[in-house]
């Protein structure tokens, strides 16, 4: 399995042999969806918190006698049906959204996501990111020259590349990260991938273990 390699001028210069065990996997949407939802849940934090009737202040005195007033009986002004009262069955910060993901399934879903990008011509491999100057305009020009017609890009580098991070920081809908850190959520949130040859090799090494 081969794909084209482009230079920084957007011209095809060679081809690269891709590992079919990583980029040629049969895509099963149900597996990718399961891992995607789990990873999104694992990244979620519980911020919403409400007080029950036992946690709000006041309400120690019965608002009026049980009988004789003609009104409904109440034992506390902190009841959930009262304004300023506690909340019944409200959200609490102790809620846990974490879902355990099998390691092999997570790796498989990552491979499927990469394979899907390749099948839909949404994976562009460039020789390297050695630009003459670290200017955002140069990277934006490269994205326009590449054959990928998508509108959002995930740029993968081999290890941390401070220069590429600086060049893409102000580009809308462009995210740069290390190839060894990419997840299903990262791949699914962007329409196309732009990776260096070294980053592709890093992906194959990581996902072939």
On the question of pLDDT at 118 being above 90, the answer is yes
What's the number of CA atoms in the CB half-sphere (13 Å) around residue 111? 22
Between CA 191 and CA 198 the distance in angstroms is 21
CB 110 within 8 A of CB 182: yes
Nearest 10 degrees: Cα torsion 11, 12, 18, 24 = 80
d(CA 163, CA 130): 9
pLDDT at 148: 84
Confidence of residue 185 (pLDDT cuts 50, 70, 90): very high
Between the alpha carbon of residue 107 and those of residues 11, 67, 110, 128, 207, the distances in Å are 32, 67, 5, 26, 7
User: What predicted TM-score, i.e. pTM, was given to this entire model?
Assistant: 0.83
121 — pLDDT class (breaks 50, 70, 90): very high
Instruction: DSSP for 103-151, please give it.
Output: HHHHHHHHHHHHHHHHHTT-EEEES----SS--HHHHHHHHHHSS---S
Token pair recorded at residue 32 = 């990718």
Q: What is the pLDDT of residue 208?
A: 85
pLDDT tens track for 60-113:
889 999 999 999 999 999 999 999 999 999 999 988 899 999 999 999 999 999
Question: Taking residues 153-160, what's their average pLDDT?
Answer: 95
Domains of the chain, CATH where assigned: 2-44+99-207 (3.40.1370.10), 46-96 (no CATH)
Q: What is residue 129's predicted lDDT score, i.e. its pLDDT?
A: 95
Q: Judge whether residue 209 has pLDDT over 80.
A: no
Q: How many CA atoms lie within 13 A of 94 on its CB side?
A: 3
Question: How many Cα atoms are found within 13 Å in the side-chain-facing hemisphere of 20?
Answer: 2
Let me know how many helices (H) and strands (E) the chain has, helices first. Answer: 7, 6
Write down the pLDDT at residue 60.
Answer: 86
Quick one: how far is CA 13 from the chain centroid? 32
Q: What is the mean predicted confidence (pLDDT) over 3-12?
A: 94
Cβ-based burial of 195 (10 A; exposed 0-12, middle 13-18, buried ≥19):
buried
* pLDDT band of 143, cuts 50, 70, 90: very high
| pLDDT of 6 | 96
Do the strands 192-196 and 123-126 form a parallel or antiparallel pair, or are they unpaired?
parallel
Report whether pLDDT(166) > 90. Answer: yes
């Amino acid at each position: 399995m081969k794909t084209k390699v482009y230079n920084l001028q957007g011209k095809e210069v060679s081809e690269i042999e891709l590992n079919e065990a990583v980029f040629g996997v049969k895509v099963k949407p149900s597996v990718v969806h399961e891992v995607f939802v789990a990873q999104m849940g694992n990244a979620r934090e519980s911020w919403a918190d409400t007080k029950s009737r036992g946690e709000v202040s006041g309400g120690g005195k019965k608002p009026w006698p049980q009988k004789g007033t003609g009104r409904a009986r109440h034992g506390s002004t902190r009841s959930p049906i009262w304004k300023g009262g506690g909340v019944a069955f409200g959200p609490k910060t102790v809620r846990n959204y974490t879902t355990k993901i099998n390691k092999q399934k997570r790796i498989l879903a990552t491979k499927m996501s990469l394979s899907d990008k390749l099948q839909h011509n949404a994976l562009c491999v460039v020789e390297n990111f050695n630009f003459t100057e670290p200017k955002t305009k140069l990277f934006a020009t490269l994205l326009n020259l590449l054959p990928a017609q998508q509108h959002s890009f995930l740029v993968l580098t081999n290890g941390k590349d401070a220069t590429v991070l600086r060049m893409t920081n102000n580009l809308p809908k462009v995210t740069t990260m290390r190839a060894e850190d990419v997840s299903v959520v990262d791949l699914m949130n962007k329409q196309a991938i732009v990776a260096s040859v070294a980053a592709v090799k890093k992906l194959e090494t990581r996902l072939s273990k």
